Amino acid sequence: MELRQLRYFVTVAEELNFGRAAERLRIAGPSLSQQIKALERDLKVQLFDRDRRSVALTAAGSALLPRVRALIDQAVELRRQALGLSSSEPVRIGYVQWCPTDWAERAAGVAQLRVDTWVMPSHTQAARVADGSLDLAICWVEQADLEAMSLQARLVGADRLYALSVGQDPSPVDARDLTVLLDSDEASWSSWNRFAAQFAAESGAQTLRVEDGGVTGSTFFDHIRRLRRPVLNNPKGQNDVTPPDMTRRPVQRPSPMWTWSLVWRREEPNPLIHAVVDAFTAGVDRSGLTEPGVWLPADDPHRAQAG
């Protein structure tokens, strides 16, 4: 039995839905289910009644839930005392648009977090870590960026990108049949443009440069309607509501994967920052990066780890 499994149990108990719990924890659904089954084996009780349509706590699960929460709180307090957090400065963290939904919970037993309110592009956030304006940032980077700015990175999440097209056809679309939008505003979209251009060059997808910020949002949907072709989504719009006249379609041959890195300074002396890195990246599921047909940029820092 591991503390991580107890946290998983609490999250599933709060959501009563394995899919939502897995999304909140940023792990694959099958991995979450396996961890819960392993915990049930260790405890020798069934924690959930589950079928295809519903998840409910068993009587044993309901009885154990407050005790598990208390155990987690005790572990949090123990780590806090060990690290002497009462006199420590908060760890400053920035992000682009994605961040773990439970990051305050993850860091609670490790350090005080100060979440930066400036939501900036990946290359800007990485540069702010390098110059000391931030201690950590969640962003997209390549290995060359890490070398140039003397940063280190660990995988903290990944998004499998999909295509959007007009109509109700949900069938997979080959990458070579896609259009990939690039934005003329390099100050805002440098990372996306690099990723998208590499993907198009290697997969045979068409590229189209736009000047209206139309790689996401309502203007992005307008471009799809005008082009009448499947268009690759941008990770900033990963969870946007799909318009009723459009359908999400899996991309194959290859399937592009956008990685989110947690970056920090290479010579960082503060042990609290390293503790937060460990807390944020513990148990991150990287299995999706190794699936057949997945595409990552050649300089993605997690490509070698995935292979």
Which residues are 258's β-sheet partners? 159
Domains and CATH numbers, the chain: 3-85 (1.10.10.10), 90-306 (3.40.190.290)
Give tens-digit pLDDT for 83-92: 555 446 789 9
Question: Distance (Å, rounded) from C-alpha 99 to C-alpha 177?
Answer: 31
Residue 238 pLDDT: 86
Which residues are 252's β-sheet partners? 174
Give tens-digit pLDDT for 30-65: 888 999 999 999 999 999 998 877 899 999 999 999
DSSP at 289? G
Residue with the larger pLDDT of the pair 71 and 295: 295
Average pLDDT over residues 208-231: 94
**Residues 230 and 173: beta-carbon distance below 8 Å:** yes
Closest CA to 56 of 12, 109, 113, 103: 12
Q: What is the average pLDDT score of the chain?
A: 90
| Least reliable range by pLDDT among 79-88, 125-134, 157-166, 199-208 | 79-88
**Residues 206 and 179: beta-carbon distance below 8 Å:** yes
Question: What dihedral do alpha carbons 33, 35, 39, 41 form, nearest 10°?
Answer: 70
The beta strand positions in the chain, using DSSP E, are: 48-50, 55-57, 91-95, 113-115, 136-139, 151-160, 162-166, 173-174, 179-183, 206-210, 231-232, 246-252, 255-265, 294-295
- Whole-prediction pTM: 0.73
Question: Distance (Å, rounded) from C-alpha 84 to C-alpha 74?
Answer: 15
Residue 7 CB coordination number (10 Å): 21
Question: Distance (Å, rounded) from C-alpha 228 to C-alpha 210?
Answer: 16
**Residues 169 and 247: beta-carbon distance below 8 Å:** yes
Residue with the larger pLDDT of the pair 128 and 28: 128
Residue 134 CB coordination number (10 Å): 24
The packing angle between helices 29-43 and 18-25, to 10°, is 100
| Least reliable range by pLDDT among 102-116, 166-180, 218-232 | 102-116
What is the bridge-based pairing of β-strands 151-160 and 255-265? Answer: antiparallel
Residue 164 pLDDT: 97
- Give Cβ neighbours of residue 241 (< 8 Å, ≥ 6 apart): none
